[in-house]
Amino acid sequence: MDGDIVHARYDANPDMAEAWIRLRSGTHTESDLLLLEHELAEHRYYQAHPGSTYAEAHAAATKIADWASHMEPPRRENYTWEN
C-alpha cells in the first residue's frame, strides 16, 4: 500500500470469533464483555471523528477497553446451535 486509506473488510480473528460464540451461548467471560466495550468505543470514535483510520479508532478504544491484553486463551471449541 502507498499510504492511501483503503476501505476493506476486517481480517478474520479466531479469538474474537470464540468470544462471540461464548457471548451468544451465554457462557461469556469478563474478557468477552470487555471486547464489547472495546468495539463500542471504536464505533463511538468513528462517529466523533469522521474519516479516521482503523488504527486511530483502535488505539483510542484500547485506552478505554484493552481487550487484547485480557483475551481468553484459545479453547478451539465446537458449538452446535439449535434453531
Task: For 4-50, write each residue's pLDDT tens digit.
Answer: 777 788 888 999 999 999 999 999 999 999 999 999 999 999 999 99
26: cell is: 451465554
If we measure between CA atoms, which residue out of 28, 29, 37, 31 comes closest to residue 64?
Answer: 37
Determine the average pLDDT of the residues in 47-62: 96
From residue 1, how far is each of 6, 55, 59, 67, 76 by CA, in Å? 9, 15, 21, 28, 33
Give the domain range for residue 63.
14-69
Give Cβ neighbours of residue 46 (< 8 Å, ≥ 6 apart).
Answer: 52, 57
How many domains are there within the chain? 1
Residue 31 lies in a domain: yes
Residue 38 lies in a domain: yes
Asked whether the whole model's pTM tops 0.85, one would answer no
On the question of pLDDT at 77 being above 80, the answer is no
On the question of pLDDT at 83 being above 70, the answer is no
Residue 63 lies in a domain: yes
How many Å apart are CA 49 and CA 69, to the nearest integer? 25
Residue 61 lies in a domain: yes
Determine the average pLDDT of the residues in 41-65: 96
